[in-house]
Amino acid sequence: MPRTLLLIFLFFAVFSAFGQKKYTISGIIKDKATGEQMIGATVRIKELPQNGTATNSYGFYSLSAPKGEYTLLFMYIGYETISQQVSLTKNQEINISLTSKAELSEVVINGNRPNNDNIVSPQMGVEKLNMAQINQVPVVFGEKDILKTLSLLPGVKSAGEANTGFYVRGGASDQNLILLDEATVYNASHFFGFFSTFNSDAIKDVSLYKGGMPAEYGGRLSSVLDIKMNEGNNKNYTAEGGIGLISSRIKVEGPIVQDKGSFMVSARRTYIDFFLKASSDSTIKGSSIYFYDINAKANYHFDNKNAIYLSGYFGKDVLALKNTFGTDWGNSTGTVRFNHIFNNRLFSNTSLVFSNYNYAVQSFQTDNIFKATSQITDFNLKEDLQYSAGSNHTLKFGLNVLHHTIAPGDITTSSTSSFNNKSIEKRYGFENAVYVSDEWKAGNKLTFLYGLRLSGLFLLGPGTFKTYDAAGNTITSTTYASGASVKNYLNLEPRFSAGYQLNDETSIKASYNRNTQNIHLLNNSTSATPTDLYVMSSNNIKPEIADQVSAGWFKNFKDNTYEFSAEIYYKWLQNQIDYKDGAQLIGNADVESLLTYGTGRAYGVELFLKKKYGHFNGWIGYTLSRTELKFPAINNGNYYPARQDRTHDLSVVGIYQLNKRWSFSSVFVYGTGNAVTYPTGKYNIGGLTTFSYSQRNGYRLPSSNRLDLGATLEGKQHKKYHSSWTFGIYNVYAYRDPYIITFRDSKTVPNTTEAVETSIFATRIPSVTWNFKF
Amino acid sequence: MKTTDFKYFVIVMNLALATACTKVVDLKLGNDTGKLVIEGNVTNKRGAQFIKLSRNVAFTATNTYPTVTGATVSVSDTTGKIFPFVEGPAGIYSINSMAGTAGRTYKMNIATNGSVYTASSQMPRAVKLDSITEKVDAFDKKNNRRQITVHFQDPAGTPNQYRFILTVNGVEVKRIFAFNDDFSDGRYVNLDLFQNDIDIIPGNTVTVEMQCVDKTIYTYWFTLMREGNGFGGGVAPSNPPTNIKPAALGYFSAHTTQSLILKVN
């Protein structure tokens, strides 16, 4: 089948070259005020409605049309549409700067016909978040948060209150690929998941692919969250920031060379620990509890054809109790990218990416001194090319060479410690891929986006690799030399989406995609503990595979002011991983002996209604879904609901702009409780009440619901500076959202047992943040 | 490090849940009751050894468990010697004077209601419990609460597994303490028995029993220890893996035992 696909592919690519003589218009679209390149801005030819395109991650677009007189439209949500007349007699370069409507201080957002990209594009299962909206959605402690806002979209479920983990279409939280300027972010949470690692000040664009995955992405089963940082203003120097209850943040940006290069540095830090210093208790006083993160980016455009981008992220969490123990963890990423425009049809980007996640757990007690560390380090070379082949085809192709080094655990101790020094062998491997895809406009109404990704995992020595029997005993043990091949897996991942436009405001779409995953998170804790352990596919662990089919109906109405979509999906999962009873994962050289493998299935319906413009905007998202797993060793080999199975999930988000200064927002969420395992009996062992279980995840936590409110007060206009206040109330009606239910001997009635429900925020939590910009 | 590591997470979770609050709730739970529960122990200490048979009950019932009477219960050792256990109080089967020998494998044999249950366990070599000490709990200095630490020399070169039972003024602390030497082989071990069930304060008398258990039994206790801490490490709780065949609730453990007493000042 892959060969056939490739042939079809080549056929169309070649075929398109023989059409009518066509000319190409290409260029870069930027924000007029900041010079930021705009991602996903639309370029349309008024006279040829099907001839549209969108800018790529670097603001580049290219489109072709036969000789003629045309009106070009350049559009982006929240920006003034520019229309420009061209007489197309030769290839042309048109660079455009769009003006934000906010800059025009217009309160009423209307006028131009909003675009219908969601109808025209064959891409489905994608969610794009507007940073302006993220900034208005109320969140706990007033810390605006990309991941928490994402979980308000259909098909995306929060892993729980105070948890930035998320589940996409039934996938586990490690089945999401989180990219920050192309670098993998392994642990996207601060402070055990209360906050995400993404400081929204530094973020320009957020896209989440939950189905119909484009071929340029791969490596995880469920989703790709592609986050792009701001480039920095290349016109003026600006500084902005905020002071909140939990943290403060600051961002500075400006030109390096006017219109040619810019930089952006954004940082934030929490200050709970400053309050600890005030404590009279010496232990608390000497304790640390904080996190910080820094985003930095710089770019330089040598000319219209060549540009270089540098970006980096560094974040760290520290939690320590004086003279007792401490733990710290953090991600760091770095990306160097080089853009080259070969000609008005061929765009190239080369990236060198570094990514690291590490953690340390330490004990400072004199007789128990130890320090345990673990880390994963990636180096990634990516080459991505985009070729506009005539007016009907846009090809993307590229390759990816990703080297992993995993240090599962190093323990260092003192001579008087209770613990030994221990070092678990590092693991090395390459995760490589080549891909090709084509967006083919097969007529006025029909568009295909199809492609193929070949991904491979190459596990390399040095090291000793074992195989295990079902009971976890070692069967064979083989030692490999440095660089020797231990195990290879190759997987072909077909990707296919089709969109058929019924009219200007209605389309239907369908997609199929296969995704594979070769890096697996082992962490048998549901809270975001820092002790994430990653393993590659190996002689014991096979690549995880997911096949997804989905179909959807997309309808815009009231002149594209409202967007409605209904999508259904079904997913088959293979080679899923769970743990045997009593599995101790940390610091275990034989961790692969503790794993057990199974399959899964996930299916559901997602309904989404969004009002994009106007004084009042927002959305309603509803998901009806099921996710089930099947492991021979669990639940007598029968299907059981995965922890992330959530039958109903509803989010309502409303934002209302009252006047120039006041805006209000509210969020309501409702969700079926997580699938959990409750006892079905009790007995006595060693004098202790012990519970017996007969079914995995056979019960549900009570459903959860919550209402949050927010308000923003913009300061009066000043020439030199601008300030605003953000107010929020989290959990307005102080609902006790159940977090966990535990079972114990009753504290009030002797000789009986009781179930105890714990809620994290059983109270309303107000917040206030002061924001400034100058 | 297992226990230590785990302890930290419990502490950290407690910190994280500082704003949390709890309430007792009524739940509709299923009933899968009347299942056989076997708790068999053979120790190296000469004296009566006990094997208890009972059945599990519904969560909503009181903590009284029906006994299983009229079973035929015996233990044999690798030398072929058979030790018959006789029923005293209902459901409690015992032998008056028996002492296990380290290194020997003991096999339990139970016939009840037409079914035969067996389990084997190898009694490990005894490791000396050196001492037990107390110190002020780092997390509760204000109330002068104490924390108990056990000290022993782990023998090098062999895997060793331990279980500790902590008793305060004659009341058993409702926590399970399981420890193995994966991270401590050959070390002099100082192990904190972290718990929040009973506040230990000056004037209390504390007893610590140390058992040296085999690997299977360690996994049994370790699983229960993790689940018993409420947060369960996030793992869906399950019945701990047992050495009884065919599977029943409970275990059969041949272990060494020794105790030390400490008066808290």
Q: Which domains does chain A have, with CATH numbers?
A: 2-120 (2.60.40.1120), 126-226 (2.170.130.10), 227-773 (2.40.170.20)
> How far, in Å, CA of A388 to CA of A13, rounded?
10
Which of A282, A287, A420, A580 to substitute to test the interface with B, most B CBs within 10 Å? A420
Minimal Cα–Cα distance from A546 to chain B, Å?
Answer: 24
> How far, in Å, CA of A95 to CA of A464, rounded?
57
Question: Element (H or E) spanning A332, and its range?
Answer: strand A325-341
Is A680–B55 a contact, with Cβ atoms under 8 angstroms apart?
no
- Among A223, A179, A227, smallest CA distance to A200 is for A227
Minimal Cα–Cα distance from B77 to chain A, Å?
Answer: 23
Question: How many of the other CB atoms lie within 10 Å of CB of B113?
Answer: 8
Residues 6+ apart with CB under 8 A from A496: A448, A449, A450, A451, A511, A512, A513
Q: Give the pLDDT score at A527.
A: 57
Residues of B with Cβ-Cβ distance to A643 under 8 angstroms: 236
- Among A600, A648, A599, smallest CA distance to A624 is for A648
Please check whether residue B181 is in contact with residue B160, taking contact to mean a CB–CB distance below 8 angstroms: yes
Minimal Cα–Cα distance from A376 to chain B, Å?
Answer: 20
Please check whether residue A326 is in contact with residue A288, taking contact to mean a CB–CB distance below 8 angstroms: yes
> How far, in Å, CA of A630 to CA of A640, rounded?
6
Query: Which residues, given as ranges, of chain B have pLDDT below 70?
Result: 1-20, 139-141, 229-235
- Among A88, A78, A86, smallest CA distance to A24 is for A88
SS (H, E, C) A135-201: HHCCCHHHCCCHHHHHCCCCCEEECCCCCCCEEECCCCHHHEEEEECCEECCCCEEHHHCEECCCHH
> How far, in Å, CA of A253 to CA of A239, rounded?
6
Is B8–A753 a contact, with Cβ atoms under 8 angstroms apart?
no
Q: Give the pLDDT score at A363.
A: 86
> How far, in Å, CA of A526 to CA of A522, rounded?
11
Q: Give the pLDDT score at B234.
A: 55
Question: How many of the other CB atoms lie within 10 Å of CB of B179?
Answer: 28
Which of A279, A692, A751 to substitute to test the interface with B, most B CBs within 10 Å? A692
In chain A, the residue whose alpha carbon lies closest to the alpha carbon of B241 is A581
Question: Element (H or E) spanning A88, and its range?
Answer: strand A82-88
Residues of B with Cβ-Cβ distance to A755 under 8 angstroms: 24-27, 29, 59
Taking only the tens place, the pLDDT of each residue in B155-180 is 999 999 999 999 999 999 989 999 99
Is B172–A687 a contact, with Cβ atoms under 8 angstroms apart?
yes
Q: Percent of chain A beyond pLDDT 70?
A: 93
Helix/strand/coil for B247? coil
Q: Give the pLDDT score at A463.
A: 94
Q: Give the pLDDT score at A145.
A: 83
A140 token code pair: 């706990």
In chain B, the residue whose alpha carbon lies closest to the alpha carbon of A527 is B234
Is B8–A323 a contact, with Cβ atoms under 8 angstroms apart?
no
In chain A, the residue whose alpha carbon lies closest to the alpha carbon of B1 is A419
How many Cβ pairs closer than 8 A exist between chain A and B?
Answer: 230
In chain B, the residue whose alpha carbon lies closest to the alpha carbon of A370 is B1
Alpha carbon dihedral A690, A696, A698, A701, in 10-degree steps, equals: 70
Residue A560 vs residue B66, higher pLDDT: B66
> How far, in Å, CA of A427 to CA of A534, rounded?
10
Of B58, B192, B231, the CB nearest to A681: B58
Is B236–A697 a contact, with Cβ atoms under 8 angstroms apart?
yes
Question: How many of the other CB atoms lie within 10 Å of CB of A471?
Answer: 7
Paired strand residues for B164: B177, B210
Residues of A with Cβ-Cβ distance to B219 under 8 angstroms: 581-582
In the block, residue with structure tokens 């692919």: A209
Q: Give the pLDDT score at A49.
A: 74
Minimal Cα–Cα distance from A708 to chain B, Å?
Answer: 18
Is B183–A420 a contact, with Cβ atoms under 8 angstroms apart?
yes
Of A588, A689, A755, the CB nearest to B25: A755
Minimal Cα–Cα distance from A41 to chain B, Å?
Answer: 42
Is A753–B63 a contact, with Cβ atoms under 8 angstroms apart?
yes
Of A324, A529, A760, the CB nearest to B20: A760
Residues of A with Cβ-Cβ distance to B4 under 8 angstroms: 363, 368, 370
| Beta strand segments in A562-692, E | 562-579, 595-611, 616-630, 640-641, 648-657, 662-671, 675-676, 681-685, 688-692
Q: Give the pLDDT score at B6.
A: 43
Of B8, B23, B239, the CB nearest to A361: B8
In the block, residue with structure tokens 């128990």: A368
SS (H, E, C) A256-269: EECCCEEEEEEEEE
In chain A, the residue whose alpha carbon lies closest to the alpha carbon of B236 is A677
Question: Is residue A105 very low, low, confident or very high in pLDDT (cuts 50, 70, 90)?
Answer: very low
Mean pLDDT of A439-465: 93
A15 token code pair: 């075929």
Q: Give the pLDDT score at B90.
A: 94
Q: Give the pLDDT score at A366.
A: 78
In the block, residue with structure tokens 């420890």: B179
Please check whether residue A700 is in contact with residue A687, taking contact to mean a CB–CB distance below 8 angstroms: no
Of A281, A678, A691, the CB nearest to B27: A678
> How far, in Å, CA of B210 to CA of B207, rounded?
10
Is B183–A527 a contact, with Cβ atoms under 8 angstroms apart?
no
Mean pLDDT of A86-108: 75
pLDDT of residue A21 exceeding 80, the answer is no
Of B12, B19, B59, the CB nearest to A319: B12
Residues of B with Cβ-Cβ distance to A751 under 8 angstroms: 62-64
Residues of B with Cβ-Cβ distance to A415 under 8 angstroms: none
pLDDT of residue A20 exceeding 70, the answer is no
Residues 6+ apart with CB under 8 A from B80: none
pLDDT of residue A215 exceeding 60, the answer is yes
Q: Give the pLDDT score at A653.
A: 92
Of B15, B23, B32, the CB nearest to A694: B32
In chain B, the residue whose alpha carbon lies closest to the alpha carbon of A411 is B183
Q: Give the pLDDT score at A689.
A: 92
Residues of B with Cβ-Cβ distance to A758 under 8 angstroms: 17, 20-22
Alpha carbon dihedral A134, A140, A143, A144, in 10-degree steps, equals: 0
Taking only the tens place, the pLDDT of each residue in A507-556 is 999 999 999 999 998 876 655 566 778 999 999 999 999 999 999 999 99
Q: Give the pLDDT score at A191.
A: 80
Is B33–A686 a contact, with Cβ atoms under 8 angstroms apart?
no
Is A281–B141 a contact, with Cβ atoms under 8 angstroms apart?
yes
Please check whether residue A149 is in contact with residue A134, taking contact to mean a CB–CB distance below 8 angstroms: yes
Question: Is residue A118 very low, low, confident or very high in pLDDT (cuts 50, 70, 90)?
Answer: confident
Please check whether residue A370 is in contact with residue A411, taking contact to mean a CB–CB distance below 8 angstroms: yes
pLDDT of residue A327 exceeding 90, the answer is no
Angle at Cα A133 formed by Cα A130 and Cα A135, nearest 5°?
Answer: 115
Q: Give the pLDDT score at A114.
A: 57
pLDDT of residue A111 exceeding 70, the answer is no
Of A372, A579, A741, the CB nearest to B1: A372
pLDDT of residue A693 exceeding 70, the answer is yes
Of A682, A690, A745, the CB nearest to B224: A690
In chain A, the residue whose alpha carbon lies closest to the alpha carbon of B189 is A418
Minimal Cα–Cα distance from A206 to chain B, Å?
Answer: 29
Residues of B with Cβ-Cβ distance to A318 under 8 angstroms: none
In chain A, the residue whose alpha carbon lies closest to the alpha carbon of B142 is A281
ipTM for the complex shown: 0.92
> How far, in Å, CA of A680 to CA of A260, rounded?
68
In the block, residue with structure tokens 């050959």: B186
Round the CA-based radius of gyration of chain A to a whole number and report it: 27
In chain B, the residue whose alpha carbon lies closest to the alpha carbon of A587 is B183
Minimal Cα–Cα distance from A584 to chain B, Å?
Answer: 8
User: Which range is least confidently modeled, A43-57, A303-317, B114-128?
Assistant: A43-57
Q: Give the pLDDT score at B3.
A: 42
Question: Is residue A4 very low, low, confident or very high in pLDDT (cuts 50, 70, 90)?
Answer: low
Helix/strand/coil for B78? coil
**What domains can you pick out in chain B, each with its CATH number?**
2-14+125-235+257-263 (2.60.40), 36-122 (2.60.40)
Residues of A with Cβ-Cβ distance to B174 under 8 angstroms: 688-689, 745
Residues of A with Cβ-Cβ distance to B222 under 8 angstroms: 582, 584
Is B176–A742 a contact, with Cβ atoms under 8 angstroms apart?
no
In the block, residue with structure tokens 């003034």: A80
Is B250–A683 a contact, with Cβ atoms under 8 angstroms apart?
yes
Taking only the tens place, the pLDDT of each residue in A639-658 is 999 988 999 999 999 989 89
Mean pLDDT of A393-422: 92
Q: Give the pLDDT score at A1.
A: 45
> How far, in Å, CA of A774 to CA of A238, rounded?
6
Is A743–B59 a contact, with Cβ atoms under 8 angstroms apart?
yes
Taking only the tens place, the pLDDT of each residue in A286-309 is 778 889 999 999 999 998 899 999
